[in-house]
Amino acid sequence: MAGRVLVSERSIEIVGHSAATARLRVQIERVAPFASNVLITGPSGTGKELVARQIHALSPRLGHPFVPVDCAAMTGELMSSQLFGHVAGAFTGANCDALGCFRAAHGGTIFLDEIGELEYLLQSKLLRVLQERTVTPVGSHQGQPVDVRVIAATNRDLRAEVAAGRFREDLFYRLHVVHVQMTPLRDRPGDIPELAESFLSQLAAEGLPRCELSPNALRELIQYSWPGNIRQLRNVLEQAVIESDAKVLEARHIARLLEGDAAETSETSCEESEVEPAWREPPAASACQVVEPPALPGWMTLASIEREHLQRTLEHTFFNRSAAARLLGITRQALLRKIERHGIEIPDSLS
């Protein structure tokens, strides 16, 4: 899904002073003034969209729209309409003309998140837009000129996707004009104290209690490997603030949550890897099936709590599975497996 956003430079902040973060700031400042396409790669949760917004905020396009698009959110005709717009009557339900994200971003920046998930047919259409700088709405034969800067992001290895025939080589080189590689949080632990302080301040501004970290709690954060990166760090801090009655978070508050995340990581590792090929058959259910033992009457099991949290997150994101996965700090594929395992029903209109 996408939203038209006007970005203020003051609203963007790259937090941290590690060598990797310092290099990232320098690279952003170097590429921001130009109109060249940018490809941002790296693990999920490392802040790729934040970097895209910073590039836009420091560019001459500041003051024009920044339009983020989740390329994994929709497929086929709906995604074509989302990107390129449509004319009235183009398909069932198309009662009026729609601009599409590219024309909505005219003069500004379009951010194509999870570009590695884009269907092969849509890759061809996107390539033509990048080559000709025009878009043709669904149901029309008249091209419309657009002036947009394209920033794409993915957690996939696009070179490997090209070699496997799942991503167009010509599109890869169109996007790969400037490459920004994100560094996992585990490789820059020096940023954790500043990130943690920033997140605690944000949470307090959002209405949660104002908390601080004890030295031992901070040590727990620094020593952890953070498979979910910055997104996971924020989630852990938010959970700790909500579940603790103390104004100072101690090591025990953090350690308990990290142990739970470690168990979750172990569970999802048998579900699938983050770069699962599209053609892979799902693993046998018996290998990863969660068998819930009987619980004491009136006491919720962990599986019941997980199901309830999944349901609430899906409802919060209007059943956008990609958005829900990002909030939960897991991959979209892992979320789909959990939805199936818990028997959560998706409304027909959103399936």
Q: Give the pLDDT confidence score for residue 201 in this predicted structure.
A: 95
Of 46-55, 150-159, 275-284, 321-330, where does mean pLDDT reach its minimum?
275-284
Q: Which residue do the tokens 């183009």 mark?
A: 90
Q: Give the pLDDT confidence score for residue 275 in this predicted structure.
A: 40
Residues 67, 40 contacting (CB under 8 angstroms):
no
Query: Distance between CA atoms of 257 and 254, rounded to whole angstroms?
Result: 5
HSE at residue 315, side-chain half, CA atoms within 13 A, is 8
Task: Pick from 83-92, 188-197, 253-262, 296-305 the range whose average pLDDT is largest.
Answer: 188-197
Q: Give the pLDDT confidence score for residue 21 in this predicted structure.
A: 96
Kindly list the structural domains of the chain, giving each domain's residue range(s) and its CATH number in brackets, ordered by start: 5-183 (3.40.50.300), 197-269 (1.10.8.60), 285-350 (1.10.10.60)
Q: Which of 256, 253, 260 is nearest to 328 (CA)?
A: 260
Question: Which of the four pLDDT bands, split at 50, 70 and 90, describes residue 285?
Answer: very low
Could you tell me what percent of the chain has a pLDDT over 90?
Answer: 54
Query: Is the four-CA dihedral 126, 128, 131, 135 of positive or negative sign?
Result: negative
How many Cβ atoms are within 10 Å of 42's Cβ, its own excluded? 18
306-316 pLDDT per residue, tens: 888 899 888 88
β-pairing, 65-70 vs 109-113, is parallel
Query: Distance between CA atoms of 334 and 276, rounded to whole angstroms?
Result: 10
Average pLDDT estimate for 50-73: 94
Mean pLDDT of the chain, nearest integer: 83
Question: Which of the four pLDDT bands, split at 50, 70 and 90, describes residue 231?
Answer: very high
pLDDT at 24 over 90: yes
Residues 140, 101 contacting (CB under 8 angstroms):
no
Strand partners, 150: 110
User: Between residues 275 and 187, which one has the greater pLDDT?
Assistant: 187
Backbone phi, then psi, for 45, in 5-degree steps? Answer: 85, 10
Q: Give the pLDDT confidence score for residue 89 in this predicted structure.
A: 60
User: Between residues 244 and 29, which one has the greater pLDDT?
Assistant: 29
Query: Distance between CA atoms of 307 and 329, rounded to whole angstroms?
Result: 15
235-253 pLDDT per residue, tens: 999 999 998 888 999 999 9
pLDDT at 11 over 80: no
Q: Give the pLDDT confidence score for residue 128 in this predicted structure.
A: 92
Q: Give the pLDDT confidence score for residue 91 in this predicted structure.
A: 60
pTM of the model: 0.72
Query: Distance between CA atoms of 310 and 329, rounded to whole angstroms?
Result: 12
Backbone phi, then psi, for 144, in 5-degree steps? Answer: -120, 125
Tokens at 164, concatenated: 């496997």
Which ranges of the chain does DSSP label H, i.e. alpha helix?
A: 19-31, 48-57, 76-84, 101-104, 120-132, 158-163, 169-175, 192-205, 215-223, 229-243, 251-269, 285-288, 302-316, 321-328, 332-342
Residues 112, 151 contacting (CB under 8 angstroms):
yes
Which ranges of 58-98 does DSSP label H, i.e. alpha helix?
A: 76-84
